[in-house]
Structure 1
Amino acid sequence: MLRFITSAGLIIVHLTQATPVSRSQYLTNSPAAFPASALDKRVDDKPIPLKRDESGGIFTVDMVIDGILLPLHVDTGSSQLWAAHESCQSCQDAHMVVIDTPLPDGCVGEEKIQYAAGTLSGCLTNTSVSLGQYSVENLTILLATNISKEVAANGDLYSGTLGLADDKLTNSNTSTFVSALYAAKQISEPEMGFYLPGGNATDDQGQMVFGNPSDSQHATSNEPVNLERARPEDGVYVVNLTEVSVGGESVAAQQIAVLDTGSIGIGIPSSISEDIFDKVYGDTTEDHGGRKVDCQSPANTGNDISLDFHFKDKTFSVKYEELVSKPEDDGTCWALIGTYDGVEEADEKWVLGEAFLHRVYHTVNFKTGAVKLYDLEDN
């Protein structure tokens, strides 16, 4: 979940309070949900629906953990699966659904997760986890006993995170959920595919596919762009970015980019931020750590302005209206481009979140870090 500073402004949009949910509303028949034979049998690779929040920026999936159904944030920018625990007062104050799995003896919240915006702490335990037709009976997860205000701000949307990056980034250096599925032969290949419709799309939900994601109704038959992991030691999906341009004018070249379903916007290196802000948005106003901008492209930047990403010989363009949030009460919008903290090599690393990812269908290999970018069928 590589969130950047300007997303703090967007979090304000999500501070609506949900009605507290009782545990009984989420109980499942857990013995039947986790048949022992499921670990030895590969199931068909069926799309898993992803729920899109009203702004189109956060995608969640319903997952059963220790018999309780929780909405989890889908995040390829991190690896640890965590869930809100009943002992977490800050989780309950944020109206998260909590689980009552027993805490390990001596749990004092020593395990921590540091996102680019927000932190949480808790303890590791092993428990049963199920998602659609997939299940793992003894997966190591983190029970959150405390969360920061940044994480709590989206408590009405999700009650934990499904991390989908490399095993090496988990707190325990053990398997992620998808890695455990692959080891158990429940999925045929170590790959995942994502369709993430933007805020202006007519689709009500996104899709995630495990195992054999390339054959998707959302991807064209054109050859995808095949991108290897740019940094072998990296645990996220980081690839080489040939060039970035605005209105045909190059603003950066020979960069690297992280594809991150857990981020809302597009994180850019601070060294070139002012030039890009000026070329895309014109005048901006600093506000609560973000930037307020015109909701329609200003005359001085051009009516057909776009931010263009070049990968090898393929270009994917993000239009101005896709680079701003929905209008606020004052008639302005938040910029969906921003600088960020908490990311190594910040002067050359981009973070491509939903504002970019809704323009492509993409697959990732959680063993090699390789990425494929496809044109969307409806583009």
Structure 2
Amino acid sequence: MLLSSALLTTGLVVLGLTDDVHAHPAHAPFLSIPLSRLGPRPETHPLPPTIVHQQHVNRAIRRHELMTGATTTPDHVLIENLRRRAAALPPHLQKRFNHPGLEALFRHPQAGERDESQNSSSASYKAEGSTREGLTPATKPTFKHTLGLDIQGQDIGYVATLQIGTPPRDFRLLMDSGSADLWVGAEGCKSQDPFDDQEGCGKHTFLGPQSSSTFNDTKKPWKIQYGTGAVSGTLVKDTLVIAGLKLPNYRFGVARVESGEFTPDYIPFDGLAGLAKATISQQGTVPLVEALYAAKCIPAPVVSYHIPRFRDGYNKGELTLGGLNPDKYDPNTLVRLRNISPFGFWEAHVDAVKVGGKDLGWSTRTALFDTGTTLLIAPPADVSAIHAHIPGAYQDPDGLGGWTVPCVPKKSKSPVMTLTLGGRSFAVDARDIAFLPVDEANPQGNCTSGITAGTPGGPQQWLVGDVFLKSVYMSTDIASDTITFAKLKKRAK
């Protein structure tokens, strides 16, 4: 059964804690990693927002299939979904977006997805700090053992800078909560993508004997297929340092062959660090979090996340290894849930769902929590019931399960939507439900909904991504196999 996770929309996350001494927030020497964001690529043409939305849906489909070992949806089905969304565009938008990018997209299901970060012209985001090399730096860290973590695109990926080798050099790694392996590009790396116009793996930082005197290649092969993208190479040993925490002779992978999702020069990371459980490791290595814990660098194998929002206009996001940052969440709202996923991911029961203050009477739903998924995907009947209580919402005519909602929701005393977890209600921010304007020239009009129909795992299972996770503080505890949620402090430090 295939248990590796998806990638290119990987945004970190999912979370948990334990009932024992490892669980409570304390000022122990654990690691915090702030998050920041990636700006647009001005030299490229934007794709229609509805196409970007469908790309997220397609990735969510693949990501869930990899999480559960389900049969993989063929590429031609995903391409047809994109074609149907394009055909359903209003005539004036079809003309505006009639450019070669769409044709490339239809030839190759992942083509063009690298450009989605530019579809942000309607967002009023002013980052703190200047943009450098396509990545906007985070605000200055405030917690001990802290790293800046840049965010790729519109809250879809999180990139931390680690040091590897002797002498140590910086590597930017995409931090992924849905996989458990760490890899960087190898010296002499090759591209396997037929659509890639370059032979090598782009202008990234690579690791090998020419750059590191402590590099030791074990020659043992490995390969990983993500939801979008694939890499293969050999396992190596070298020194890794993260926020001053040193792991000598750490065992991980170098990629000697990468697919085109990773190789272009504008891809802002040099590899990937999986933060999930060892049970899903495709390399058969000790994942980074567990290795840090075994080396007594952190007091518990805990990962906590405060995910920033592109539209907030500031970025105080943070990733913490080893515990929870008490400056980020309200301790009176903390709930701890048992992880029920049999595959090593993060899943829990949902007690109730309310929309506009109305309880929909659901108490049997479960949710796979994953920031590698941008949207919230639920069975069609559930999505229809949710949107029936959102004023102005209507189903898209293309028959793909998407909905349209007002970009500016009607003011109400009740949150648009809440999920009850562990007996406590957590609101979904209305800005995240209004995903992207259908017409970017009219950002106050209609938006594609961040809640979309799909069949993640039967009529009771949801795949819950950043649409919900940006509104909560989350952590995962590998030792106790639990997930923790809490409400964010207002303007968390």
TM-score (norm 1): 0.76
Match for 1:77 among 178, 182, 207?
Answer: 178
Counterpart of 1:187, as a letter, is I
1:174 aligns with 2:174: no
Partner of 2:117: 14
1:272 aligns with 2:382: yes
Cα distance in 1 for residues equivalent to 2:413 and 2:404: 15
Say which SS state the counterpart of residue 5 (structure 1) adopts: helix
Residues 303 and 312 of structure 1: CA distance in aligned 2, closer, same or farther (over 3 Å): closer
1:34-53 pair list within 5 angstroms: 46-53=145-152
Residues 204 and 298 of structure 1: CA distance in aligned 2, closer, same or farther (over 3 Å): closer
Partner of 1:188: 299
Deviation at 1:121, TM superposition (A): 3.0
Deviations along 1:122-171, one digit per CA (max 9) or x if unpaired, are 33322222211222122232323344455568952333222111011111
Counterpart of 1:336, as a letter, is G
Match for 2:337 among 227, 236, 247?
Answer: 227
Cα distance in 2 for residues equivalent to 1:261 and 1:131: 22
Deviation at 1:251, TM superposition (A): 7.1
Residues 336 and 143 of structure 1: CA distance in aligned 2, closer, same or farther (over 3 Å): farther
1:237 aligns with 2:338: no
Counterpart of 1:221, as a letter, is P
Cα distance in 2 for residues equivalent to 1:46 and 1:245: 39
Is the 1:228–1:369 Cα contact (8 Å) retained in structure 2?
yes
Partner of 1:5: 57
1:62 aligns with 2:172: no
Deviation at 1:179, TM superposition (A): 0.5
How many correspondences in the alignment? Answer: 348
Is the 1:307–1:317 Cα contact (8 Å) retained in structure 2?
yes
Residues 209 and 319 of structure 1: CA distance in aligned 2, closer, same or farther (over 3 Å): closer
Is the 1:267–1:339 Cα contact (8 Å) retained in structure 2?
yes
Cα distance in 2 for residues equivalent to 1:122 and 1:88: 10
Is the 1:14–1:154 Cα contact (8 Å) retained in structure 2?
no
Partner of 2:65: none
Say which SS state the counterpart of residue 368 (structure 2) adopts: strand
Say which SS state the counterpart of residue 172 (structure 1) adopts: coil
Cα distance in 2 for residues equivalent to 1:311 and 1:154: 42
1:319 aligns with 2:429: yes
Cα distance in 2 for residues equivalent to 1:230 and 1:122: 33
Is the 2:280–2:343 Cα contact (8 Å) retained in structure 1?
no
Q: Which 10-residue stretch deviates more, 270-279 or 365-374?
A: 270-279
Cα distance in 2 for residues equivalent to 1:296 and 1:154: 34
Counterpart of 2:283, as a letter, is S
Residues 223 and 323 of structure 1: CA distance in aligned 2, closer, same or farther (over 3 Å): closer
Say which SS state the counterpart of residue 84 (structure 1) adopts: strand
Q: Which 10-residue stretch deviates more, 145-154 or 241-250?
A: 145-154
TM-score (norm 2): 0.60
Residues 54 and 105 of structure 1: CA distance in aligned 2, closer, same or farther (over 3 Å): closer
Is the 1:243–1:253 Cα contact (8 Å) retained in structure 2?
yes
Is the 2:174–2:271 Cα contact (8 Å) retained in structure 1?
yes
Deviations along 1:310-332, one digit per CA (max 9) or x if unpaired, are 11311111133212335464546
Counterpart of 2:337, as a letter, is L
Match for 1:310 among 410, 417, 420?
Answer: 420
Question: Unpaired segments of 5 or more residues in structure 1?
Answer: 22-43
Q: Which 10-residue stretch deviates more, 180-189 or 143-152?
A: 143-152
Deviation at 1:112, TM superposition (A): 2.9
Cα distance in 1 for residues equivalent to 2:178 and 2:482: 14
Cα distance in 1 for residues equivalent to 2:413 and 2:265: 34
Partner of 1:378: 490
Structure number with bigger Rg: 2
Deviation at 1:360, TM superposition (A): 1.0
Is the 1:167–1:176 Cα contact (8 Å) retained in structure 2?
yes
Cα distance in 2 for residues equivalent to 1:97 and 1:359: 33
Partner of 1:246: 355
Say which SS state the counterpart of residue 48 (structure 1) adopts: coil
Match for 1:365 among 477, 484, 487?
Answer: 477
Counterpart of 2:466, as a letter, is E
Cα distance in 1 for residues equivalent to 2:260 and 2:379: 26
Residues 117 and 53 of structure 1: CA distance in aligned 2, closer, same or farther (over 3 Å): closer
Say which SS state the counterpart of residue 200 (structure 1) adopts: helix
Residues 270 and 133 of structure 1: CA distance in aligned 2, closer, same or farther (over 3 Å): farther
Deviations along 1:238-292, one digit per CA (max 9) or x if unpaired, are 22222233222427432222222323222324563444455557235478x8958
Cα distance in 2 for residues equivalent to 1:187 and 1:128: 17
Say which SS state the counterpart of residue 232 (structure 2) adopts: strand
Deviation at 1:97, TM superposition (A): 1.8
Residues 263 and 286 of structure 1: CA distance in aligned 2, closer, same or farther (over 3 Å): farther
Partner of 2:246: 135
Deviations along 1:67-101, one digit per CA (max 9) or x if unpaired, are 33222222211111122334133597775623132
Cα distance in 2 for residues equivalent to 1:334 and 1:123: 42
Deviation at 1:47, TM superposition (A): 3.9
Is the 2:393–2:406 Cα contact (8 Å) retained in structure 1?
no
1:338 aligns with 2:452: yes
Cα distance in 1 for residues equivalent to 2:452 and 2:471: 18
Say which SS state the counterpart of residue 185 (structure 1) adopts: coil
Residues 251 and 94 of structure 1: CA distance in aligned 2, closer, same or farther (over 3 Å): farther
Is the 2:146–2:243 Cα contact (8 Å) retained in structure 1?
no
Say which SS state the counterpart of residue 326 (structure 2) adopts: coil
Deviation at 1:176, TM superposition (A): 0.6
Cα distance in 2 for residues equivalent to 1:244 and 1:123: 46
Question: Unpaired segments of 5 or more residues in structure 2?
Answer: 10-55, 61-81, 83-112, 120-130, 135-142, 210-215
> CA-atom RMSD, angstroms?
3.8
Partner of 1:41: none
Cα distance in 1 for residues equivalent to 2:421 and 2:295: 34
Cα distance in 1 for residues equivalent to 2:261 and 2:454: 15
Is the 1:241–1:256 Cα contact (8 Å) retained in structure 2?
yes
Cα distance in 1 for residues equivalent to 2:114 and 2:383: 21
Say which SS state the counterpart of residue 356 (structure 1) adopts: helix
